[in-house]
Structure 1
Amino acid sequence: MSHPERKNEEDAEQNPNNVVPYRVGYGKPPVEHRFQKGQSGNPRGRKKGSSNKPKIDMGHGMRAAEEYLRHEAFRPVTLREDGQLIELPAIQAVFRAMGVAAMKGNRFAQKTMAELVTGLEQRDAEARFELFGSALEYKQRWTEEIERCEKQNLPAPEPLPHPDDIIVNPHAGDVRILGPQTKEQKAHYDKAAARRFAAQDEVNYFAEKYRRARSEKRREMYLEEWHWEQRMFDIINDAMPERYKMKLENRSYRAGASRAGDTMKEFAEDRKRAPESRRWGDYVGE
């Protein structure tokens, strides 16, 4: 191997313009092996599935083993069933195999599966019972507080969810909440209600204009505006829980007018279109 200094002297003799020669070394590959501009250094691309590798946080206090287990449990696997390939989460595939083994008479699989299902049903019943009790206590407490404020002419509180929106069924032991549950949902309800009130005002205005109009052209124009605002009212009103519904005054029953309770399907289909081509727009917008 030639000495580095001697090699540099030879390069200088072959470089009459005294240009500093390119020295091959660490971080300086030969010209023929350097990456070309506009050409990827990894032409084969990233390995398949590399973007799906679990990103496990190994920081302080993180239980990495549980994260790895959760990832493996829900990792999709492919298996053949009835001659067809299907994809399932790994944990579901395990339960399916257990069920098949149990139906074939495997007593260990039968016992294990029965215990799992029984425990699941018991935990579910306990959770439902706890939720029912908490909801019932919440509803009674806030109902009494609102009634107390009304009797004393004090401003009534507005808890979220409102106790009147909590529907408890003691026979089935279930709980439903038919109303806003967060500040963001309450703001959305208030915005929708304001648009509904505006629609009612517009319906009243155009209905009166229609009745007073003498020109057929103006009557058609007012009727079109009347029907438009009536539809806006019905779209919003139909989407509201029963406690928040209103009855529209000056409802038109002419051809082309909307009907209460029938607008949501039409509106849902309209929302599937691109925003610029929607017929009804944003029903809580301007």
Structure 2
Amino acid sequence: MPPRDPVITVFAPTGIGEVTRGADLAEAVLTAAAADPSGPLQAGDVVVVTSKIISKADGLVRAGHDREAAITEQTAATVARRGATRIVRTRAGLTVAAAGVDNSNVASGTVLVLPEDADARAATLHAELTRRTGLPLGVVVSDTAGRAWRLGQTDHAIGAAGLRVLERYAGRQDPYGNDLQVTAMAVADEIAGAADLAKGKLAGRPVAVVRGVAHLVQPVGLPDGRAADLIRPLEQDMFSHGTREAVLVAVLTATGQSDRYEELVALDGPALAAAVLTGTDLSADAEALVSALFVRT
């Protein structure tokens, strides 16, 4: 493993331009990086590519008037919903708003959906970059997401190849001699966030190169080498539903209607209570409790 570099630099080259279906992304990255004053690519660099140009190159475009249908298409389960706003778990396991369906930096009247397997797309790009350069490199596919307890958004890794995405500290000791038991740093997410500081949202720079993290670059196929390894397993997820949605799951389970969750989650207040109570044989007190629960949540 290369030694840890005390200096990390990030640069976002210009010149990639509008990406269209079938574009050679590896060639675009290499050409842009070579033309940058900080280029060309060097051994140990991590190339961070926004998911948007992956989606454009793969033709993952939908008509804008079908945005809600595109969100539904990409949704495996609804985590929380308030009116038209949906936080969902995608088929790939990501928990994001609107299933990652995006209408920014795309042609008017269209939206983009996320790659179905961003780790596989990262691996494809990684294979091309390493084949053409002969260099050990890492690749991250990034996208923007919010955080449940904090305002604002930041980029995180939805795909990775040639990179250790988690740096685990369990079993090590801190400078005071304390044993670390559960600490694991989501370094791929940190790299994605740092890259976005250079790329920006409106600068037309969809790729950034993070230099100085060669100690995280590793051959494809090693443990903790995919962005999917950052997704918390459902059985460990303490926040798999929003507050109202957790109540809905509990009530539907108790009344033998758990299969109605996706049908009812779009409703709210009295309408939701009425729909839940339809067909049940509860006492008046139980019905009142159900109604009160959904009014309060």
Confirm or deny a common fold (TM above 0.5).
no
Task: Give the strand-richer structure, 1 or 2.
Answer: 2
Under TM normalisation by the shorter chain, which class is it?
under 0.3
Higher CA-based Rg: 1
Task: Give the helix-richer structure, 1 or 2.
Answer: 1
TM-score (norm: length of structure 1) = 0.23
TM-score (norm: length of structure 2) = 0.23
